[in-house]
Amino acid sequence: MLLNTLLLIIGFVLLIRGANAFVDGAVALAHRFNIPEIIIGLTVIAMGTSAPESAVSISSALHGAGGVAIGNVLGSNIVNILLILGLSAVITPLHFQKKTILYEIPFVIFIIIVMMWFGVRYGIINRAMAGILLLLFVGFLAYMYRTAKKEIIKSEKEIVSNMSSIKIAAFIILGLAALVFGSDLTVKSATNLAVLLHVPNRIIGLTLVAAGTSLPELVTCIAAARKKRTGLIVGNIIGSNIFNILFVLGLTGLVMPVPFEYAFAMDAAISIVITVLLWLFAIHEQNLTRAEGAVFLLCYAGYIMYLI
C-alpha cells in the first residue's frame, strides 16, 4: 500500500508539473505566432489548466475504471466550489460580474442537470451523449469569444515571447509526456489503493483523484486571492467546472463510453445544490463574503464525512 501511495503522489506531481510546462510552452508558441491573448485564454490556457482532469478521466475510461473518470469530474467541481472558492473567499471577499450571475453560473447548473439526466436515464455516458456535451462546449466557447472580444482594447500591445524555439518545443513535448505518464500512474495506483482498502472507484475518484487534479486551480486561486485578483479566481473556477463537464467528460465518453453508477446521482445532486447556493450568494450584493466562504468550507468537511 505504501508503494501505491508513493506512486499516486508521484503521479500527481507529474500531472501538475506537466500541465504547467504544457501551458507555458503553448502560450509562448502562441505569442511567437502573434496569436491574440483572447484566443490563448479560451483555448490553450483552458485546456492546459484542466489537462490533469482530462488525462486522468480518459486514462481511467481506457483502463475500465469509469467510476474514477466520472468521480474525478464531479469531485473536482465540488472541490472547486466548496474548498477552493471557500478558501479564497476567506482570504479575501470575491466579486462577481453581472454576466457571471446572469449567464455563466446558471449554465453550470444546466449542464450538470443534463449530465445527470443522461446518467440516470440511460446508466451510461455513451458517444452520442458525449457528442452533445462537446457541442455545448463549442457553444460556450463561442459565447466566451463574443463576450471577451467586446473587452479587447484596440491599442493592445503585441506580446513577444522571450522563450527560445528549442525551449518551447521541450516544454510542450515534455509537458504532454508528463501528463500522459502521470495520468496513467495516477489511475493505476488509485485503482490499486481502492482494491487494497476495499474502497469503490467512485470514492477514490471523488476524493483523492479529484483533489489531486484540482491542485493547479487551488494554487492559482490562493495566489490570486493573496493579490486580490478576485475576477481571476471566479473566472477560473466557473470556467473550470464548465470545462470539466462538457469537454473532459465529453471527450472521455467519445473515446470510451463511461458507465454511470446510480450513486453518482447523489453526487451530481450535491453539485447542483452547492452551485445554486453559490448563485444565491453571488446575487446578494454580487459578492462572496468571508462568512459565506467559511460556510462552503464547512460544507466540504460535511461532504467528506458523508463519503466516509
Calculate mean pLDDT across residues 144-149. Answer: 73
Rounded CA separation 107/274 (Å): 14
Q: For the chain, give the mean pLDDT.
A: 81
Q: Are 73 and 245 in contact (CB under 8 A)?
A: yes
pLDDT of residue 273: 96
pLDDT for 216 equals: 64
**DSSP per residue over 11-46, as a string?**
HHHHHHHHHHHHHHHHHHHHHHTT--HHHHIIIIIH
Is residue 227 packed enough to be buried (19+ CB in 10 Å), middle (13-18) or exposed (0-12)? exposed
Q: Which residue has the higher pLDDT, 201 or 78?
A: 78
At residue 217, does pLDDT exceed 90? no
Residue 232 pLDDT exceeds 70: no
Q: By residue range, what is the domain housing residue 86? A: 2-152+160-307
Number of H helices, E strands in the chain: 17, 4
Which grid cell sits at 269? 445532486
What is the pLDDT averaged over residues 241-265?
A: 88
Q: Using alpha carbons, list the distances in angstroms from residue 59 to 65, 79, 263.
A: 8, 21, 22
Is the pLDDT at 144 greater than 50, yes or no?
yes
* SS3 category, 63: coil
Taken in order 272, 278, 280, 286, the sign of the CA dihedral is negative
CATH code: domain of residue 190: 1.20.1420.30
Digit-coded pLDDT (tens) for 254-283? 888 888 988 889 989 999 999 999 999 999
How far is residue 255's CA from residue 265's CA, in Å, rounded to a whole number?
A: 22
**Confidence bin at 155 (pLDDT 50/70/90):** very low
Q: What is the DSSP string of 77-105?
A: HHIIIIIIIHHHHHHSPEE--HHIIIIIH
User: In the block, which residue shows the cell 467510476?
Assistant: 67
Collect all residues with Cβ–Cβ distance below 8 Å to 159 and sequence separation of at least 6.
31, 37
**Contact (CB, 8 A) for 202 and 42:** no
Tell me the mean pLDDT in the region 100-126. 94
Query: Does residue 149 surpass a pLDDT of 70?
Result: no
Q: Say how many domains are in the chain.
A: 1
Q: Chain-centre distance of CA 104, in angstroms?
A: 15
pTM of structure:
0.75
Residue 116's pLDDT band, with cuts at 50, 70 and 90, is very high
Helix H segments across 79-209?
Answer: 86-91, 98-99, 105-122, 127-149, 165-196, 201-204
**pLDDT given at position 126:** 92
**pLDDT higher for 135 or 28?**
135
